[in-house]
Amino acid sequence: MIDVDKAISTAVKTGKVSFGADSAVQNAQGGRAKLIVLASNCPKNMREDVEYYCKLSKVPLIVYKGSSLDLAAVCGKLFTVSALSIREPGDSEILKLMESAEPEESDGGNE
């Protein structure tokens, strides 16, 4: 089992990662991200935009179990992180999560 926190932290330290919902949307639109991580409390409208473009570009998306503050702490950032685009995973095994995880289908109803 891969430790998600450790994998995200390693990707931030050793890979190419951008922060923020706007860049997540841009990275998803262009298919430049290998993986997008959203905080569990990412605002609904942002989340829907990111989900939409991820589906179009077939970019994997995971919803992090913690809040944007938790995600920021894992990334070592002093600001909240509601969305994170991983363009290069570096030494992280984060992309292996996608191979082992079943794709989560969002029914939109029960958050």
Is residue 33 in a domain? yes
Residue 97, pLDDT score: 75
| Number of domains forming the structure of the chain | 1
Q: What CATH number is attached to the domain comprising 43?
A: 3.30.1330.30
- Could you tell me the pTM of the whole model? 0.86
Is residue 46 in a domain? yes
Residue 1, pLDDT score: 64
pLDDT tens-digit series, residues 80-111: 999 999 999 999 999 887 766 544 444 444 33
What's the domain range around 25? Answer: 4-90
Is residue 102 in a domain? no
Is residue 72 in a domain? yes
Is residue 99 in a domain? no
Q: Show the 3-state SS of the chain.
A: CCCHHHHHHHHHHHCEEEECHHHHHHHHHCCCCCEEEECCCCCHHHHHHHHHHHHHHCCCEEECCCCHHHHHHHHCCCCCCCEEEEEECCCCCHHHHHHHCCCCCCCCCCC
